[in-house]
Structure 1
Amino acid sequence: MNLRPITVRLAGQTYELTTANGIFSPERIDTGTRVLLDHVPAAPPGGQFLDLGCGWGPLALTLALESPHATVWAVDVNTRALDVVRLNAQKLGLTNINPVTPDDVPDDLLFTAIWSNPPIRIGKDELHNILTRWLPRLEPGSDAWLVVQRNLGSDSLHRWIEAALPELKTTRAAISKGYRVLRSHRPRRTADD
């Protein structure tokens, strides 16, 4: 693996981390991820968090830094990316990150927060399969935050989530630099439910 240093700003601090070829955006925090980091509210202080499609880890590392009492599941199909997340977590002394493939996440686990710059370019059907697998695993009262480039179908994805997962209330939370930040919220159950 061809490792190289990268200087990034996460959770209000500058860090010297590691990245590698063969993973998403190895030279920098990509624009979409930066837009998400700049517009998502602070994560809850604890719980089970999911970074879906973690790449080298900017979202997972931010979640772990900001919420040290949470468990962060950094999920990716690219094992090289998971190795780099593991290395970066060790470098930062973070013990609350689990870099794993999708099949290594316990099936009964629900999430307090989901943050993702989803892999849009894998195709609509596969993306829909991924979101159908993970978004319903939000705990009641919790949010998924997704960032999607406008010209890569953010508005149609928003409509699809509303139609396919009506138990979630999905809204456009922010627009910046050609990206949309979508919030999918699972309401708490009420006594009337």
Structure 2
Amino acid sequence: MAHYFEERPRTASRPGTVTLLLPDLHLRLETDRGVFSPDRIDAGTRVLLESVPPPPAEGDLLDLGCGYGPIALTMASRAPGATVWAVDVNRRSVELCARNAEAAGLDKVRSVHIDEVPDDVRFRAIWSNPAIRIGKQALHEMLTRWLDRLTPDGVAYLVVQKHLGSDSLQNWLNEQGWPTTRAASRSAYRILKVEAR
């Protein structure tokens, strides 16, 4: 079975479009099979984008697991002075995000493979609908890698379904030294606010 978190999806391409409609933003986004939620804006992503405070106005921001770009493009629209790093392991996603950013005129989005972010970049904000289904160990390794790159005043917002372990993830983050609280709860989703350790 092919997964959206494979580097090179084996699923045949079938391009499509979805509309991201928020109170402050209206974007038409190019999608494809083999990426996360290609037929609609994922409900968790929507909860995140409707719940979090505005991102810092400048500096480096991160969309971890960018897919075709709804989170990265929202960050870039809300913080036009910031550089938004949109990263994913899935190269089809990275390419789609780059095209969507270009089409929207958001030239400060850097859509790159997850291993192509310069080591010295530190993030004032991380927004993510993390790939919970990669498994607990891989998820913990991924979060450790990127949360350790928050600036001292940096904050991450993660959206996680309640039945996919949001409460246990919150406990784990706190145990690892990242102060983590529930910033919002809607439908079956929790928004976890994670501060730098």
Query: Do both proteins adopt the same fold according to a TM-score greater than 0.5, normalized to the shorter chain?
Result: yes
Q: CA deviation at 1:17?
A: 2.0
TM-score under structure 1 normalisation?
Answer: 0.92
Q: CA deviation at 1:101?
A: 1.2
| Aligned-partner SS, 1:134 | helix
Q: Find runs of 4+ consecutive structure 1 residues off by over 2 angstroms.
A: none
Q: AA paired with 2:191?
A: V
Tell me what 1:6 maps to.
18
Q: CA deviation at 1:28?
A: 1.2
Tell me what 2:62 maps to.
50
| Aligned-partner SS, 2:115 | helix
> Which residues of 2 match residues 9-48 of structure 1 at below 5 A?
9-10=21-22, 12-48=24-60
Q: CA deviation at 1:13?
A: 2.4
Count of aligned positions: 185
Distance 2:109 2:66 in 1: 11
| Aligned-partner SS, 1:112 | strand
Extract unaligned runs of 5+ from structure 1.
188-193
Q: What is the RMSD computed on CA atoms of the aligned residues?
A: 1.2
Q: CA deviation at 1:180?
A: 0.6
CA separation of 1:32 and 1:131: change in aligned 2, threshold 3 A: same
> Which residues of 2 match residues 37-186 of structure 1 at below 5 A?
37-164=49-176, 166=177, 168-186=178-196
Q: Is the 8 A contact 1:11 1:66 kept in 2?
A: no
Distance 2:78 2:106 in 1: 11
TM-score under structure 2 normalisation?
Answer: 0.91
Q: Is the 8 A contact 1:4 1:20 kept in 2?
A: yes
Q: Is the 8 A contact 1:10 1:58 kept in 2?
A: no
Extract unaligned runs of 5+ from structure 2.
1-12
Q: CA deviation at 1:122?
A: 0.4
Q: Is the 8 A contact 2:87 2:112 kept in 1?
A: yes
Q: AA paired with 2:193?
A: R
Q: CA deviation at 1:11?
A: 6.3
Distance 1:116 1:159 in 2: 18
Distance 1:132 1:158 in 2: 13
> Percent of aligned pairs with the same residue?
52
Distance 1:93 1:101 in 2: 21
Distance 1:89 1:114 in 2: 18
Q: AA paired with 1:169?
A: P
| Aligned-partner SS, 2:46 | helix
